[in-house]
Amino acid sequence: MRCNQVLQEWLNEADLQSWGANMVRVIGQPFRERGYRVGGLRRHHWADACLNLEGGRHRAVECPCHFTAPQSAGRSSILGACIACGDLTPSPARKNPESGSSAGKMTIRASKFTPEVMLGAPRRSAGVPNSDASFVLYSVSTYDFEAHESSGEIRILDVEKNESAVVTKGKDTSNPLWLDDSNIALFRGAKEGQTELLIGPAKNFEAGAYVAGTIGGAADNLKITTTAKDQYRVAFSALANPDGSLYNGETAPKLHTTGKLYHSLYVRHWDTWIEPQRQAVWYASLTTTSEVEDASKTKVWSLSSAVNVLRGTSLECPMPPFGGGDHFDVGPKGVIFVAKDPDLDPALHTKCNVYVVPIDTAVTDATPSIYTTNMSVFKGAATSPRFSADGNSAAFLMMMADGYEADKNQLFTIPNIHRPAWIQHFLATDDGSGKWDQSPDTVAWSHDGRTLYLTAEKHGQKLLYHLPSNPAAAQSLPVALTTSNTVTSVSPLTDGSVFLTSSSIVDSSIYSLVNYTTRSPYVSQLSSHSHDGATFGLSASQVSDIWVTGAGKNSSTGDKVHAWVVKPSNFSKSRQYPLAFLVHGGPQGAWDNAWSTRWNPALFAEQGYVVVLPNPTGSTGYGQQFCDDIKENWGGTPYEDLVNCFEYIDEHLDYVDCKRAVALGASYGGYMMNWIQGHALGRKFKALVTHDGVFSTSYELATDEVYFINREFGRSDTSADRPNAYDRWDPAKHTDAWSTPHLIIHSELDYRLTMADGLAAFNVLQERGVESELLVFPDENHFVLKPENSLRWHETVFSFINRHVGLPTVGDKDLEQITKDPPRGGGRQGSTVCVCVCVCATRRIRGYRSNTLWARSLKSVAGADMASNQRRQRATDGTSSCGLAREAGARRQRTTCTCCPRANELARCLSPAIPPDTFASLPHSLSPNPSCCFALDLGAFPVVLQLLPAGRLLPHTMHFSRAFVAAAAIYLAPLALADDAATDAAAASSSEIIRPDFKPTELKAPFVEQFTDDWASRWQASHAKKELDGAETEEEWAFVGNWEVEEPIVYKGIEGDKGLVLKDKAAHHAISAKFPKAIDNKKKTLVVQYEVKLQDGLECGGAYMKLLQDNKKLKTDEFSNASPYVIMFGPDKCGSTNKVITAFSLMPIAPFC
């Protein structure tokens, strides 16, 4: 159902009757015939309910406009209209794809991308496709800041329809998997700390699900594989007691002392003091027989008792704190897992072993045999053990160096799991370093076993690669199948394609499909959770990158250092923005093109910063040497790289004001903030923020993973000819220079960098009299994860840094009402839109009859926002709550219509699923109530305006008994134009969109302009002087801007569709065209459609269309702002003010245009 086919109206019977005939052109049949009913609403309830006309149903829903009607208003004197969310496929009660709420339900969200919006938005898990990815399972978690609680649900996505449905609700449900293409299994928390395995039909789970078995403790990381027809092997992880039995925290005996006695490391790890229980891998069988079929002959599976694979050993898998399903796998013939070497202290070593457990028979209580692979010189960490589809072979990743968690992963296979000592090393070299200078972090097999898929970082992206599974055939380096974004999950399908889950800086979750030949991989996007960022008002055009000269050299990038640049959504090259300089943690880490809910650069950008995210020496994804070079060099080359990056920004990015710069970092980034504070770069910033950073290297002996500091600072190397790295790179030795305002954040459960680091830094700042603040979280670890704490984190950070660069500090929440069901498809064909337009007219105000127009449309993609007091203005003396700015005069009534949150979505409704002529055929005669209805999108596509029948628009003392239109003209004030607009977003998606070709409309109208090749014969540019209402100035304001007709470079909907383009920045433009003949709209509706697309944003300016009076003295080449007109309307934006100006001349009029 197209969005213009779903309408919500307050209408009386007279409205309905007069409107019905016009609806034929929109939805194919009269309004009445669809069974829509109007009535039954009391006068004072008009503001609280709309009639939801979706799918022919009549449902009362909350009005998105929150229009408040005066109590004294007569029923016939108020008309409200809302264009609501639509979908391509009509359904009687369509559910919101994420919330399950009925269409039309509203929720409070910020009017721009704010921390509360991000933290309260539904978070989608990696997708789990069925055999051909026609359906995808996933989980969604959401936090409600009003109720202060989280919720969760499992959903299923119909890929072809791009619609999802709820499978089951409850935050205790998790791990959804397919048994076959019809049935699914998942975990659900049960009473007394137990876990149930539920199985049921995917499309009717709540009705058909049953408990296949109960696990006596908390289970996670469910995996299922087929062993035979109607038989499955199940594996999962759960805590085990020292004797190997399943641990249940709710039923375990409670100790009466809190004392803990330790004889070896670990003592504590990440955020937990070590307990006797360990993580273990468990396996069981899932079978069905004819005896357990239910009455409907549906197969019913039963789960056997689970066996602890690690029983009788001191092994632990998954390995804390971050290990999960990436540390083990189950196949038709066994289990494979990785674990720390039990003969070495885990706090001092990273060495792991790979263990294979062949299981060829049914599950029994007996503990299976465990075989250890022999990896010779490879003594580092290991991850991602994976079976081939037939279970005969396995692959895994392993590092060479012990004690170095950022060493390069290399690929190995076990050709026959019954011979685990037979290991094949891919792309090997004599010295063991390997031919491929990238470090993969996951591996997967193709369904036929002939191909291996790897994910690995490459220059700030995490890409998918492939190579043959036979080492003899894999002599060339792996070939990339993707080119951008960060791949987080890989699922090979039976047809040879690959289902991916990924994200980007502006898009929280993307599902896509990779089809490829040896020559040309093709990536098709199936679903974007945030609609390519549009849900948050973001777009890919905000993100770019730079390469600057670094302080060192490496084999991968030479002497260049890479950095991401993220601009505000309302970015304009004509102004300067303060700089937010973010340094990542690790230090062996990187800012990737990935979504984050902890350090999201787009949040900083929407505060008004240009955000730069450098990847200096030590970063991953730029070759192993570049990563290794930070060893015993923490404050050396990386610091110099950052200095060079800052200087490059200052010299080359004119839109960045480096005199208003702030720097922030966490972990190693926090160390660097403390280091910068004591060095010259620290004086370049107005404020610094350290989150869980190192104050003194000497404190790091208290860390949990001691192997890390041993390697990074050369602690085991006591040779006298090298300086002590502890002292050389200790920020605490440079506190005499600390003087920049500094916010310190630290959490008490951070056992990686203890609370002493944060307290010491704050103490020094306070002693020195440096402006400083300390934010402490007693219940968080190295990361701030709890939504309420994260909101406090963001509010504190933004308040601190903003006030030092002149940006607004975080105060009252800037809220708007927007729909919870955003448009689908990211602007592709068949996408939908949520648009809200409210209209009121012919009200009686203070005893006289007047006509006012007000509207709430959608927020511009340029990020313009209305002031809080305008949005919250309420009705007084009969005026509306939409922030009406009204100028009443003897000769002119001028109405300013303010904008609501999401104008950028309107283009996604119109392009290209709706024919361009659709809006010309919308119903226009809402007699007897005159009306004006428009929808505005400054940043993307259209401005659509409906004007009223003659004689119905203005106060009753003024009539248009006869109206003629003889010419139309466009007047535009200075704009930031499209010549150098960023085209990243359009380019990124162009390969995924099949656009229709432009064909001239067959619509018959007195004046239609589609800017075909002969456009210049109709349009005349003006070069008149601009009149300034008597202001004295010596400067000549002239309409000197040039015009061209071109195709759009952003939000391109139709191939070959062209429009007028302004070619000169900061210049006045004017152009006009004469109508072929005068237009007489007596007793008819006059409709004017005008589309504006700000392709490169807009800082300050307007774009107006005027209908001019029939004036023989008017010369088209002298058309200016002073030319007499009857109607003028168009967008007007300056800074944070975003309006649509609609003006009507009230002078007595002769025939006009």
pLDDT in tens, 439-467: 999 999 999 999 999 999 999 999 999 99
**Residue 1022 tokens, joined:** 């003006």
**CATH number at 539-805:** 3.40.50.1820
β pairing state of 268-269 and 885-888? unpaired
Question: Which pLDDT does position 877 carry in this prediction?
Answer: 31
Question: Which pLDDT does position 1077 carry in this prediction?
Answer: 76
Name the helix (H) or strand (E) containing 624.
Answer: helix 624-628
**Residue 976 tokens, joined:** 């930031």
Let me know: does 1138 contact 865? Beta carbons within 8 Å. Answer: yes
Q: pLDDT > 70: what percent of the chain? A: 69
- pLDDT at residue 1022 greater than cutoff 50: yes
- pLDDT at residue 475 greater than cutoff 70: yes
- Any bridge partners for residue 1079, and if so which? 965
Question: Which pLDDT does position 1136 carry in this prediction?
Answer: 55
CA 10 to chain CA centroid, Å, is 35
Question: Which pLDDT does position 863 carry in this prediction?
Answer: 29
Distances (CA, A) of 897 to 315, 663, 930: 68, 39, 17
Name the helix (H) or strand (E) containing 1129.
Answer: strand 1125-1134
Q: CA-CA distance, 1000 to 515, in Å (whole number)?
A: 36
Rg (CA), the chain: 33
Instruction: Give Cβ neighbours of residue 950 (< 8 Å, ≥ 6 apart).
Output: 960, 961, 962, 963, 1081, 1082, 1083, 1084, 1086
Q: What is the 3-state secondary structure (H, E, C) of 1040-1058?
A: CCCEEEECCCCCCCCECCC
Question: Which pLDDT does position 1004 carry in this prediction?
Answer: 74
pLDDT tens digits for 899-935?
A: 333 333 332 332 233 333 333 333 332 222 222 222 2
Sign, CA dihedral 1061-1063-1066-1069, equals negative
Q: CA-CA distance, 701 to 342, in Å (whole number)?
A: 23
- pLDDT at residue 694 greater than cutoff 80: yes
CB atoms within 10 A of CB 1046: 15
Place of tokens 């249940």: 248
What is the mean pLDDT of the segment spanning 286-305?
Answer: 74
Q: Which residues are catalytic?
A: 667, 750, 782
Tell me how long the chain is.
Answer: 1153
CB atoms within 10 A of CB 308: 20
Q: CA-CA distance, 354 to 397, in Å (whole number)?
A: 10
Question: Which pLDDT does position 1130 carry in this prediction?
Answer: 79
Q: CA-CA distance, 531 to 540, in Å (whole number)?
A: 11
State whether residue 985 is helix, strand or coil.
Answer: helix
Question: Which pLDDT does position 553 carry in this prediction?
Answer: 81
pLDDT tens digits for 1074-1088?
A: 887 777 777 777 777
State whether residue 603 is helix, strand or coil.
Answer: helix
The mean pLDDT of the chain is: 75
Domain boundaries, the chain: 3-93+815-1145, 112-216, 223-249+267-399+415-423, 433-530, 539-805
Question: Which pLDDT does position 900 carry in this prediction?
Answer: 30
Q: CA-CA distance, 1048 to 573, in Å (whole number)?
A: 19
Question: Which pLDDT does position 719 carry in this prediction?
Answer: 54
Name the helix (H) or strand (E) containing 554.
Answer: strand 543-554
Phi (first) and psi of residue 173, to 5 degrees:
-100, 145
What DSSP designation does 640 have? H
Instruction: Give Cβ neighbours of residue 447 (< 8 Å, ≥ 6 apart).
Output: 389, 492, 493, 494, 495, 496
Ramachandran region, residue 1135 (left: φ > 0; alpha: ψ -120 to 50; beta: rest): left
What is the mean pLDDT of the segment spanning 680-705?
Answer: 97
Sign, CA dihedral 584-588-591-594, equals negative
pLDDT tens digits for 510-566?
A: 999 999 865 678 899 999 999 999 999 999 999 999 999 999 887 677 889 999 999
What is the mean pLDDT of the segment spanning 24-44?
Answer: 27
- pLDDT at residue 29 greater than cutoff 60: no
Which of 99-113, 271-285, 671-685 bottoms out in mean pLDDT, i.e. has the lowest? 99-113
pLDDT top residue among 181 and 836? 181
**Residue 609 tokens, joined:** 């910063």
What is the mean pLDDT of the segment spanning 777-802?
Answer: 98
Q: CA-CA distance, 709 to 698, in Å (whole number)?
A: 10
pLDDT tens digits for 213-264?
A: 999 999 999 999 999 888 899 999 999 999 999 999 999 999 999 999 999 9
**Residue 521 tokens, joined:** 């991989």
